[in-house]
Structure 1
């Protein structure tokens, strides 16, 4: 099953020759919040309680197919580090530059850089990896306002469901880097921390960058959550905080190599009966 490749040239232009807007740009131009527009009635119906059993069965099959697509597309990407962050930061923002440097350092350390595949922080991390000659992967999501894959991806796959996408962003990663972001970023980082805290996944490093941005959140975590006993003191050790891309990647590399040895399961062989190319590994397979 092949994946789409980022468009270039006239595919990125409107009929009048002007460049197409990204989802974030279209949102800003319309005055609507990012990711908000006419939602799919079918998507809303899925979470509106019990439905006809035929509808529920079809939905199960659709979700299963989405997982299958993700597993097949990402099976050969190698050990990844997933970078989370806002889609709204522009190229001239300091957080964009930090993410770009992180992507470059991760690529130089031998990791595949995985993101949500969109603009902003995601684009910056993919761009840094691509410029350093590393592998760059995107797990995109369908939104009412289209989030186009950024231009720095070797391979991307677009998902319908957020929960399937989050599984893919976690499943193939040895570490997670969190840069400033909104609700989506908070959702992703706290899910990762919960999975580690509850021993659902291994104790992979979680690196948080942008100390000024996250300071109020950490004050709440320490001053309220820890003080009220809703988390344990050792839970604070799940997060490593730095604004230095070199230090961040050194921390990831040391833990990933010493604690996990970068083992990646059994030897991965392509199978003709799964329609996987048997020649040189290709990221768009």
Structure 2
């Protein structure tokens, strides 16, 4: 029920911290819209309702992963075929991360993500898949032991960063680039610390690093220290070792285990 402003006579209404006046006042209540099934259902598509869905994704993600323990996120193309060399490398990455004491987190899809999950699962470790609702991919790969399916990219990316202690990226496309540059930005701005980022595949990633150095750094858009956030290698053992060393440094410096 709306009140009326004593000076103007205009109706006004509080909805939590929000005040609305005049024609914006809603003559129905939230309870009425919820319980009156004969009324319109458009309200389930409104921004306030969407906020609850977003909140639910965070709650489910936090609840599912809170006890995960040390983990590393592995990224790579969903289009990597089983006969590709990168598929076998991703399997090796998953296996060796588990042997080093890590759970493996991927985007849960096919290709390189499936391979990393497979390597982790076959090694007896925890294989996590954080899927995303897309028009051209469906479901999680069969090697995922703990799977969460997200509507929203930003909620999903928060889970990668919060529960992973480092990133290993194999050759990938726009999704891999998105995760890579998200991580680089968070490290550069010190939103996350002691967070190694390894790009596996010198022939694939070398051109990107050359451009960052020869163009972006040369024009003063980043600093030399920013380039040191990235390690490019073909050595899986090196990638895993950098994760282990960063974890040890984090613990010795007083960070949470």
**TM bracket, shorter-chain basis:** 0.7 to 0.9
1:115 — aligned with what?
A: 106
Paired with 1:217 and 1:172, the residues of 2 have a C-alpha distance of 27
Query: Deviation of residue 261 (structure 1)?
Result: 4.8
Paired with 1:169 and 1:104, the residues of 2 have a C-alpha distance of 19
2:73 — aligned with what?
A: 82
Query: Deviation of residue 240 (structure 1)?
Result: 1.3
Query: Deviation of residue 265 (structure 1)?
Result: 4.7
Paired with 1:219 and 1:170, the residues of 2 have a C-alpha distance of 26
- For the 8 Å contact 1:80–1:174, the answer to whether it is kept is yes
Structure with higher Rg: it is: 2
1:213 — aligned with what?
A: 204
Paired with 1:203 and 1:250, the residues of 2 have a C-alpha distance of 14
Match 1:198 to one of 184, 189, 214: 189
Q: SS state of the match for residue 113, structure 1?
A: strand
Q: SS state of the match for residue 157, structure 1?
A: strand
Paired with 1:97 and 1:223, the residues of 2 have a C-alpha distance of 32
Q: Which protein has the bigger strand share?
A: 2
- For the 8 Å contact 2:205–2:232, the answer to whether it is kept is no
Q: Report which structure shows greater RCO (CA 8 Å, sep ≥6).
A: 1
Q: Can you give the 5+ residue segments of structure 1 that lack an aligned partner in the other structure?
A: 1-51, 267-285
Change beyond 3 A, Cα 1:129–1:76? same
Query: Deviation of residue 252 (structure 1)?
Result: 1.2
The reply to whether residue 139 of structure 1 matches residue 130 of structure 2 is yes
Paired with 1:261 and 1:151, the residues of 2 have a C-alpha distance of 37
Provide, for residues 85-139 of structure 1, a one-character-per-residue CA deviation record: whole Å limited to 9, x for no partner.
Answer: 1100011101111111011110000000000001111011111111111111000
Paired with 1:238 and 1:195, the residues of 2 have a C-alpha distance of 11
Match 1:156 to one of 105, 128, 147: 147
CA RMSD of aligned residues (A): 1.9
The reply to whether residue 251 of structure 1 matches residue 242 of structure 2 is yes
Change beyond 3 A, Cα 1:263–1:99? farther
- For the 8 Å contact 2:194–2:250, the answer to whether it is kept is no
Provide, for residues 200-230 of structure 1, a one-character-per-residue CA deviation record: whole Å limited to 9, x for no partner.
Answer: 1113100110110112111110110000000
- For the 8 Å contact 1:79–1:264, the answer to whether it is kept is no
**Corresponding residue pairs, total:** 215
- For the 8 Å contact 2:250–2:256, the answer to whether it is kept is no
What TM-score does the superposition give when structure 2 sets the normalisation length? Answer: 0.80
1:98 — aligned with what?
A: 89
Q: SS state of the match for residue 196, structure 1?
A: helix
What TM-score does the superposition give when structure 1 sets the normalisation length? Answer: 0.72
The reply to whether residue 129 of structure 1 matches residue 107 of structure 2 is no
2:60 — aligned with what?
A: 69
Change beyond 3 A, Cα 1:262–1:150? farther
Match 1:241 to one of 217, 229, 232: 232
Query: Deviation of residue 145 (structure 1)?
Result: 2.4
Query: Deviation of residue 263 (structure 1)?
Result: 7.9
Provide, for residues 49-105 of structure 1, a one-character-per-residue CA deviation record: whole Å limited to 9, x for no partner.
Answer: xxx9x8121111111111111111111111110001110001110111111101111
- For the 8 Å contact 2:133–2:149, the answer to whether it is kept is yes
1:6 — aligned with what?
A: none
- For the 8 Å contact 1:86–1:180, the answer to whether it is kept is yes
Match 1:173 to one of 154, 159, 164: 164
